[in-house]
Amino acid sequence: MFEIKFNFAFTKDFEKSFTVFLNDNLEVDGFTESKKPEWALLKNFRCEICNLDEQVYKYCPVLLNLNKAVSFFTGFPSYEKVQLTVETPQRNYEKKTTVQDALSSMAGILMAGSCCPVMSKLKPLIKFHLPFATLEETSYRALSMYLVAQYLRQSNGEKPDWELKEMDKLYKQIQIVNATVAELLTSLEEKDTGKNAVIVLNNFASFLTLRLEDGKFSELERIFKEYL
């Protein structure tokens, strides 16, 4: 088990910290509130592509992981500035940014570290979490993760997807989950921070989908020219 700590400093006198514990399976552990909200029940909320069995999962695992953070940030405007410090086992990161961008860094871990069959495909990115990643960095990390997965599939006798067709399908599913969660948060929040934090994540997924559809990663081709 390891932990990632997020410290949001709004002023020198007002800070809020969240510690996200992750077990050996890279699942968020112990972050859900004891009192679970009714709006997180699968019978009340379910993405169109959700295949979770209500007999096993009574609540949406993504919403349960997000509940504590969304409840705290509900009254904060998304554009408000905050100093975010992220402490990982390897190193710390710090940046002054908007609340929505700061929260998106934590939300990405909470969503990928849930038992959602779609979002859990992003678990390897949790192990090598990079806060404040740019579009180029996100593209590189996502492609690297997926291609390593294909190499491991091939090594284990499974059919690899070197043409990235299933990756395109995966990121379209991720967009559906993000959009559905963002729509729900719109109806729950006083302000817009939680919704916009998820939209920030969805923008990364949309960018990747566009690149996968046209097959062009020119920004990566330039740095790999010695291999081409």
pLDDT tens track, the chain, 228 positions: 999 999 999 988 899 999 999 999 999 998 988 889 999 999 999 999 999 999 999 999 999 999 999 999 999 999 999 999 999 999 999 999 999 999 999 999 999 999 999 999 999 999 999 999 998 899 899 999 999 999 999 999 999 999 999 999 999 999 999 999 999 999 988 889 999 999 999 999 999 999 898 877 777 888 899 998
Cα(210)–Cα(56) distance, integer angstroms: 35
Answer yes or no: are the C-beta atoms of 130 and 141 closer than 8 Å: yes
User: 133 and 208 in contact (C-beta within 8 Å)?
Assistant: no
Per DSSP, the three-state class of 100 is: helix
Closest C-alpha among 49, 84, 86, 44 to residue 64: 44
Q: Are 106 and 3 in contact (CB under 8 A)?
A: no
pTM over 0.85: yes
Residues 6+ apart with CB under 8 A from 50: 42, 60
pLDDT at 89: 93
Confidence (pLDDT) at 151: 98
Give how far Cα 69 sits from Cα of 74, 104, 154, 185, Å.
8, 11, 39, 12
Closest among 96, 89, 92 to 9, alpha carbons compared: 96
Residue 200 burial class via C-beta count within 10 angstroms: exposed 0-12, middle 13-18, buried 19 and up: buried
Say what the pLDDT of residue 35 is. 87
> How high is the pLDDT of residue 48?
95
CB under 8 Å to 160, separation ≥6 — which residues? 150, 151, 153, 154
H/E element, 202: helix 193-214
Cα 99 to Cα 74: distance, rounded to the nearest angstrom: 11
Starting at the edge strand that comes first in sequence, how are the strands of the sheet with 92-98 ordered? 28-29, 14-22, 2-11, 81-87, 92-98
Instruction: State the Rg of the chain over Cα.
Output: 18
Q: Can you read off the two tokens belonging to residue 109?
A: 């871990």
Which of 39, 99, 43 has its CA nearest to residue 64? 39
Query: For strand 2-11 and strand 81-87, is the pairing parallel, antiparallel, or unpaired?
Result: antiparallel
Residue whose token pair is 């996200």: 20
